[in-house]
Structure 1
Amino acid sequence: MVSPPGAISKDKKRAILEATLEILREMGLSGLKMEEVARRAEVGKGTIYLYFRDKKDLLRSLVEERTWAFYREVEEVVRLRAPFFVRLEALLRKRLAWIEEWRGLWAAVAREAMEDPTPWLKGLHQHYLDLLEELVRSGQAEGAVRPELSPKATAAVLAALGCTPQLEVEAYMEHLLLVLRKGVAP
């Protein structure tokens, strides 16, 4: 069977990125060696440099690829034809899974990828905020979210949720959704 043009190179690039993430999870940044990435991705070390200029470029690409994949999933949830709180719960579950996947590596990898990652990270994060704002506006349109709430501010609050749950995930989700539905006032 013949692969479509570019399929093999996409598979190699994906394998390199997956191997990089695997090594980061196991050994952290200090354990990330290009030789080990090549071995785990089952490519020659030189093949890595066909796709990435250097380790910083590899790390930047990893953050971007994983972040945009997450955002595509969020976008699907935001645009589902489902009630607001169903979509919100699905979104928060995806957020918790993404946080679990990265376990604090995201910011460290981003800092390693460039000297001052702040503008770059803010640019990436803005897309997430825009999606959350879209979710809030749709919740307001269906009457599930109070109309006096600022969609932008509410999106920022939602973005901050789920970053470091101290409870078991199901208990956290249940409590978080209760707080969001009912508020904290008596």
Structure 2
Amino acid sequence: MEGGWRTKGKILRRQEIMEAALELFSQKGFHGTTIAEVAKRAGVGVGTIYQHFKSKEELYLSPLEERRQELLETLQALAQEEAPTRETLSKMLRAQTAFVEKHRSFFKLYLSEQLATLEAVRERLGVKADHLYGQFFCLYQAVVERGIERGELKPLPPSHLTRAFMGILNSFFFEWLKGRIKDLGEVQDIALAIFMEGASL
């Protein structure tokens, strides 16, 4: 019983450290953030940080990868549902919007941090680098391809349609991060309508 509580405590502490790291890295960047600052924000000692993460690079990459995997699994489940294309895209969009709102620091870091920094960290850790949005792109493209096959979307190149859809999403997310959009919930239906129907009357 005692061992179980200890394990839960370690998991909770690790999550708290990652949240503190995400907040600081999103505000100050990788090079502008120190381990000591993360420890102070998380309310732990520097030694505790190193009990969970071997280096600053690992502390930077781990929360990004874990959050990305969490979102990816959610979207994968929705993408596999047998439903009309519009319904599937709507569910995926709502899930992604809710995730972005819940994990603002994660998404701010993911969008604003220079790709070179992220890839440099990956290289130091020996982690295979992939395209920043590659896995998400493939998920959405699979839904688009299915929509074309069903006659629910125009027979245009799937990759172009997917880029158009993700471009609309990311532009709204970016404007929200900048404070120029107050409520993502209000614009997610607009984003889907623009993609599915266009802006013409």
Give the TM-score of the pair, scaled to structure 2: 0.71
Deviation at 1:19? Answer: 1.8
Deviation at 1:7? Answer: 4.7
Give the TM-score of the pair, scaled to structure 1: 0.75
| Alignment equivalent of 1:172, drawn from 187, 191, 197 | 187
User: Aligned runs of 1:92-111 on 2, under 5 Å?
Assistant: 92-99=93-100, 101-102=104-105, 104-106=108-110, 107-108=112-113, 111=116
Aligned to 1:149, what secondary structure does the other structure show?
Answer: coil
Residue 115 in 1 paired to residue 120 in 2? Answer: yes
Per-residue CA deviations over 1:35-80 (Å, capped at 9, x if unaligned) read 2322443443112223323222211222212222221121122123
Deviation at 1:185? Answer: 4.9
| Structure 1 unmatched runs, 5+ | none
Match of 2:87 in 1: 86
Aligned to 2:113, what secondary structure does the other structure show?
Answer: helix
| Structure 2 unmatched runs, 5+ | 176-180
Deviation at 1:88? Answer: 0.9
Letter in 2 for 1:47: T
Match of 2:161 in 1: 154
Identity fraction in percent: 23
- In the alignment, the residues of structure 2 paired with residue 116 and residue 16 of structure 1 have an alpha-carbon distance, to the nearest angstrom, of 19
Letter in 1 for 2:140: L
Letter in 2 for 1:120: A
Residue 128 in 1 paired to residue 132 in 2? Answer: no
Structure 1 residues 11, 86: closer, same or farther in 2, change over 3 A? same
